[in-house]
Amino acid sequence: MQEPENLRKAFADLYGIQGNVPVLFFAPGRVNLIGEHTDYSGGFVLPCAIQYGTYLLIRKTDDNLIKLASVNNPEKTFIPVTDHFSKQAVRWFNYPLGVFEQFVEKSIPVGGMELLFYGDIPANAGLSSSASIEVVTAFALNHILNGGLALLDLVKMSQKAEHIFAGVNCGIMDQFAVGMGKANHAIFLNCNNLEYKHVPITLSGYKLIIANTNKPRSLADSKYNERVAECQLAVAFLAERFSINKLGDLGYPQFFKAQDVIPDEVIRKRARHVISENQRVLASVASLLKNDLAQFGALMNASHDSLRDNYEVTGFELDTLVEEACKIPGVLGSRMTGAGFGGCTVSLVRDDVIPAFIEKVGTEYKTKTGLTADFYVAEIGDGVRLV
């Protein structure tokens, strides 16, 4: 679908042309360059917004109904405007409805409206399609309802919608990157206090290549919430020695000396990943500011190793993509990105070897897994916006 012309036609075909002119909004997806499974532990992350995302056409009506439809999904619904929205059986409805509920909780009156979504983010790939839907809905509602909310408020509301309506105890990174993205910059975010800065990325002669495993996965049904609980348990043990609330409060030298306070080796490994990953993010920012792409690539590789060995969220498909990527001359680094258990990798690949990279990695992956990977050249774009 070519945006936004065909989307406007689809909107007119679905809802008619009478009434207010629909308004178009866009929120990107995101790829996390490094800093995985650290956000809900108050750690550091380094994501960026990408060119793929979610479009939303929306207009106000007088019929006191919330009408939801998506070009990507066959299910449609209409829900009476109410002072309390409830979760629905159709999963994708819950992402926008969770946001509607957040506006109701803030006593911002919600009236009738028609919404049509279209997204070109691969579903269930770990590129934040759900956060993209949530943030574009929040941004659009704030605009057309004259909510007067700051962008950071919309980001927090979107995260809360994910917690309550999708049942995923996610950190703030996904919604933050979708909302606060800036072209040609990554976001260095401290998830403990939400301090952030945009870090320029100069990829002279290189590109970020996203590879989708196409392994079926569902974030809410995966072991994501289990990892959150394991990190909380690690904090409980470490709090006997240190005054901390989250793993992100602890430096690696402190942890290294005191890690035996955690009696369970599995829980110890979970903490080891989070705390060492924080150090890799700090080192990555320094590398990018010096334009040392080789060092940044090495940190990407070390991140994947820890996610595989300490956090155990990769799996055969992701490991195969990374292993095959690292065999290609001209690849500086490769790692899983997102929650894991399937989803995507991100690799830093020299321009002149990109065709060979896609062909060779794709062939070996198909041979070893029986699945066909999809490859995307990522462009680092801006965050949520009115189109």
Q: Tell me how far CA of residue 198 lies from CA of 182, 268, 298, in angstroms.
A: 7, 32, 22
pLDDT 10s per residue in the chain (387 long)? Answer: 456 779 999 999 999 998 899 999 999 999 999 999 999 999 999 999 999 999 999 999 999 999 999 999 999 999 999 889 999 999 899 999 999 999 999 999 999 999 999 999 977 777 889 999 999 999 999 999 999 999 999 999 999 999 999 888 888 999 999 999 999 999 999 999 999 999 999 999 999 999 999 997 655 456 888 999 999 999 999 999 999 999 999 999 999 999 999 999 999 999 999 999 999 999 999 999 999 999 999 999 999 999 999 999 999 999 999 999 999 999 999 999 988 888 999 999 999 999 999 999 999 999 999 999 999 999 999 999 999
Distance CA(127)–CA(30), nearest Å, equals 5
Q: Using the CB atoms, write b or e for 338-373: b if 16+ within 10 Å.
A: bbbbbbbbbbbbbeeebeebbeebbebbeeebebeb
The phi, psi pair for 205, rounded to 5°, reads: 80, 5
pLDDT at 293: 98
Class at the top of the CATH hierarchy for domain 202-378: alpha beta
Query: What is the second-level CATH architecture of the domain 5-198?
Result: 2-Layer Sandwich (3.30)
Q: Are 385 and 178 in contact (CB under 8 A)?
A: no
Token code pair at residue 62: 């007088």
Residues of the chain with CATH 3.30.230.10: 5-198
Residues of the chain with CATH 3.30.70.890: 202-378
pLDDT at 147: 96
First to last CA, the chain: 16
What pTM value is reported for the model?
0.92
DSSP for 135-195? HHHHHHHHHHTT----HHHHHHHHHHHIIIII-----SHHHHHHHH-BTTEEEEEETTT--
Query: Does 174 qualify as catalytic in the annotation?
Result: yes
Distance CA(253)–CA(245), nearest Å, equals 18
Token code pair at residue 375: 């490859």
Q: Which is catalytic among the residues 174, 319, 352, 382?
A: 174
Residue 380 has what DSSP assignment? B
